[in-house]
Structure 1
Amino acid sequence: MKVSIIIPTYNGGSLWEKSAKAIRESYSQSSEVLVIDSSSNDSTVEVARKYNFFIEVIPSSEFNHGGTRNKAVKNSTGDIVVFITQDAIPKKESIDRILAPFSDPDVACAYGRQLPHNDANPLAKHARKFNYGENSYVSDITDSDRLGLKTVFMSNSFSAYRVSIFNELGAFPENTILCEDMYLAAKAILANFKIAYVADAEVYHSHNYTVIEEFKRYFDIGVFHQDEPWIRKSFGGASGEGKKFIFSELRYLLKNGILWLPIACVNNIAKLAGYKLGQRYKRIPAIFRRKLSMHKRYWDNF
């Protein structure tokens, strides 16, 4: 299989330098690495040139999580496209390893395991531990009753898609606030394809979000689920997984960071409030939607 690696970038800074170096060193099969940059004003493009990546620069106003990635797929030549974000640092051979499930022709997409960065706080460490376990698995429509919304969990921070199925399913939504990965994963499962989680394909990727950032991120997730109600209708809501997360986080912090418990409580309240408000965004005046959102450029189209 021919493989194309696609990396959306914008002002990647020093972490992008580490990521680019690791990407260049961590694969053997790919014939191209495509960087689609949203008019960075730092050294991001120069770093991409340093590692001989193909580069396309677009106006920052044109970036969208779904549409920008679709554009890159159209410009690629691979049978498989691998997406990595500029702040994800793959371990050696991780890109090769994420390709393994595609030996099954019914596998539409796969995602790798995310490990916390060295500077990750206990909340970020637990989030990676909860969402990215040690055991690989493959899910299909028969798992939806057991896994619920987790059946279509996907992350384009490090993922891979079979281009033929990607195109058959209509690609990512052209204009989405985020969660383009879950959108296509849900389409794939409902079309009787499979999704693989590849635990030995590892990248370092985490965020130390503030309470306000968590609120804004979950506001955007709420907006997505409001606009795509068929996903919750098909696989259930996020409340069950949310309860599991809270109890898991409590147990983790009691052992690994008890002083973070008050912050965790405030964080979880902020997440819930943000999500609920996001689901009701149509009732919120446009000027306030932008203020409540993490991805502010999305609202330029409203």
Structure 2
Amino acid sequence: MSAISLVLPTLNGESELPGLLETLGAQTRPAGEIVVVDSSSDDNTCEVAASYPGVRVVRIARDEFNHGLTRDFALRQTTGDYVAFMTQDAVPANGRYLENLVAPLDKDPLVALVSGRQLPKPDARRFEQLVREFNYPAESNVRTIEDLPRLGIKTYFASDVCSCYRRSAYLEVGGFDEVETNEDMLMAARLLKAGYKVAYAAEAEVYHSHNLTPKEQYRRNRAVGAFLAAYDGELDVPDEVGEGSRLAKSVLGAVLREGRPVEAMAFAADCAARLAGNRMGRSRCHG
């Protein structure tokens, strides 16, 4: 049975870590090691993490954190055949999360990357619940590069909120770049173009969601827009606005059918912030 390592970037996660690490310790197929890479937390994150068996803490300067390079650095501190990633604000929904996450890797040696399903947390507002349902459906899938004409940018769907990589394939394609966001999507594209498969395991569930303000949504999507513009040639997909339009129509239709006009207006503001941020990120990159 292939060994599993798990990488967990943290920043001031003292209050979130106990629930996450306790759930990870109770998995039916637990990680053999957990590497916490902490960006100089101001609280007791490192002490809390180190108090759990099998957890090793690596500290870096806060200004050194990079979504791509920090994860690559941490992965190279591990030894497992499979390397899973999580974020401190995601919690496995049950004790079979890791078992279900690595199942596609066990089943097919060509599967190099698996992402899990993100369920909304109890405090998620209604439109955020519906966004999660749209982006993370109940049906699993496995994709190859041949799916690109049919699925477009969704071919590269991946999320390091809850993911697992086959170490040998990850190293073969060179590892994560120095990127500020979407390192997972870029790695999925490179793995697919190298002849590997990328999977989505709907049975591997975590609770993870955010109630972002329009300003926060704008900033997030500005970074995504800049990323997409910078790697436009490598991703080689049509504009992602079409997928965004399908999301908007699905969620807006649902909240209106439920008779939630205030939620519909809030979601409209959220969509406007996403679109404006994306366009600004793209224009600044091209500029």
TM-score (norm 1): 0.90
Correspondence for 1:149 among 153, 163, 166: 153
- Out of 261, 268, 271, the residue aligned to residue 268 of structure 1 is 271
Query: What SS is found at the alignment partner of 1:75?
Result: coil
Cross-structure match for 1:43 = 44
Distance 1:27 1:158 in 2: 17
- Match for residue 35 of structure 2? 34
User: CA offsets per residue over residues 177-207 of structure 1, 9 Å max, x none?
Assistant: 1000000001111112100100000000000
Residue 80 of structure 1 is matched in structure 2 by 82
Matches within 5 A, 1:1-302: 1-52=2-53, 53-90=55-92, 91-102=94-105, 103-173=107-177, 175-233=178-236, 235-256=237-258, 257-282=260-285
Q: What amino acid is the match of 1:149? A: I
How far does residue 110 in structure 1 lie from its aligned partner after superposition? 0.3
- The 3-state SS of whatever aligns with 1:112 is strand
Aligned mates of 1:49, 1:13 — CA distance in 2 = 11
CA displacement, residues 118-163 of structure 1 (integer Å, 9 cap, x when unaligned): 1111122111101100011101012111111000010000000000
The code of the aligned residue for 1:115 comes to L
Shift of 1:23: 1.6
- Gaps (5+ residues) in structure 2? none
What are the Cα deviations for residues 26-59 of structure 1, in whole angstroms up to 9, with x where unaligned? 2434211110101111121122122121111111
* 2:21 alignment partner AA: A
CA contact (8 A) 1:111 1:197 kept: yes
Provide the C-alpha distance between the structure 2 equivalents of 1:41 and 1:244, rounded to a whole number of angstroms: 41
Is the 1:177–1:223 Cα contact (8 Å) retained in structure 2?
no
Helix, strand or coil at the partner of 1:77: coil
With 44-53 and 79-88 compared, the bigger mean Cα shift is at 44-53
Unaligned stretches of 5+ residues in structure 1: 285-302
Q: Distance in 2 between matches of 1:68 and 1:27?
A: 28
Partner-residue secondary structure (3-state), 1:156: coil
Secondary structure (helix, strand or coil) at the match of 1:251 reads helix
Shift of 1:22: 1.4
231 and 130 in structure 1: CA distance in 2 versus 1, 3 angstrom threshold: farther
What is the CA–CA distance in structure 1 between the aligned matches of 2:285 and 2:118, rounded to whole Å? 34
RMSD of aligned C-alpha atoms? 1.4
